[in-house]
Amino acid sequence: MSAVSVPPPKRLQKPLVVPHRHMFGPGPSNVPPRILEAGANPVIGHMHPEIFEIMNDIKSGIQYLFQTQNNMTLAVSGTGHTAMECAIFNTVEPGDSVLTAVNGIWGERAAEMAERIGARVNSIVTPPGGYFTNAEIEQALLKYRPALFFLAHGESSTGVLHPLDGIGQLCHKYNCLFLVDSVASLGGAPLYMDKQGIDILYTGSQKVLNAPPGTAPISFSERACQKIFNRKSKPVSFFLDLSWLANYWGCDGKASRTYHHTGPVTAFYSLRESLAVLVEEGLENSWDRHQKVAEYFHRGLESMGLKLFVKDIKARLPTVTTIVAPRGYNWKDITSYIMKTHNLEISGGLGPSVGLVLRVGLMGRNSSKHSADMVLAALKDALQHCHKSKV
């Protein structure tokens, strides 16, 4: 009698089939052949000297992307959520006061993460599509005296690009660390970590960088490191403990690196190549291209009679556009029709914007007039063929 009681699954006896699709949702974005090919290089050991050189390349690329001189700069093995937890878990101890700015889902997520580890969390809240003035932020800093203030630069659930100038200085005035989520904005909109006084900044690999999901660049200022490395208790996560990650990434000044976890070496190859692509184009050129394509796309939407969700033109995120859900239509019908008919992904809202918006992401290589025209044509077709109720 066979010792194997579970038979081989028939579904795994068929070849893998993955369709090509136009990824014009809020992420992930399409991965260019050059970056895919980089990820197909041979696997070598995660502690081999060649991998350490690739990691050093990545660190330099992140410093350029973030516009920072921070030595404590690395890529977490995981998605943007992993970087968010790395930032919060390392800086926040039980009983610490944390302030989150909520104008979409990411402020809500940050608040929940901090609550789970015993922080005293307070939030300032504005309706989806809005943002906070510096005066409102200072009032909250004065009231709650937080150790950490979280803000999403690019709020992908609502399409808001939040102003950053002056906020870092306000945080430092009240002895508070400034944590910024730039997953949806970095590389597509101007951001200067050092000049803007940001203490912790993170992003993801799968948006403007056009790498596969699975690595998350992050950087910590000296002020942040002073708090982190003078904790009274160890961080709740061993995997995300910065003292271990700093050594693995060669950020702690020690002569040798110690095994912490098996780094995703092929993901490192892809991330390194995506940063090289950005370096070749130049940050300012990338910012300018994303802004011009966004404006072109917005004009096309308005010419079709569609309305943009974010009213303030200067606060519109150039990488992820939110469109007011067309009246009389079920947004799911629109996104499903476009996927089926045009092999093209756009999405509905997320968190507080569910049912309110359609979201279109034009990021990295997808930020082009050609891509914008594809989406406009698909939307026009969908509005003509999807059922519209009488309103």
Binding-site sequence positions for substrate: 359
Residue at token pair 């993901």: 267
Backbone angles phi, psi at 345, to 5 degrees: -95, 125
Q: What is the C-alpha to C-alpha distance for residues 143 and 140, in angstroms, rounded to an integer?
A: 5
Q: What is the C-alpha to C-alpha distance for residues 11 and 114, in angstroms, rounded to an integer?
A: 41
Residue at token pair 């997808």: 366
Q: What is the C-alpha to C-alpha distance for residues 125 and 103, in angstroms, rounded to an integer?
A: 6
For the annotated binding site, the residues are: 359
Q: What is the C-alpha to C-alpha distance for residues 106 and 361, in angstroms, rounded to an integer?
A: 17
The torsion angle over the Cα atoms of residues 281, 315, 352 and 154, rounded to 10 degrees, is 30
Pairing mode of beta strands 177-181, 148-152: parallel
Answer whether 268's CB lies under 8 Å from 39's CB: no
Locate the DSSP E strands across the chain. Answer: 22-23, 72-77, 97-102, 120-125, 148-152, 154-155, 160-161, 177-181, 200-202, 215-220, 320-324, 344-345, 347-348, 357-361
DSSP state of 24: -
Q: What is the C-alpha to C-alpha distance for residues 272 and 38, in angstroms, rounded to an integer?
A: 9
Locate the DSSP E strands across 13-113. Answer: 22-23, 72-77, 97-102
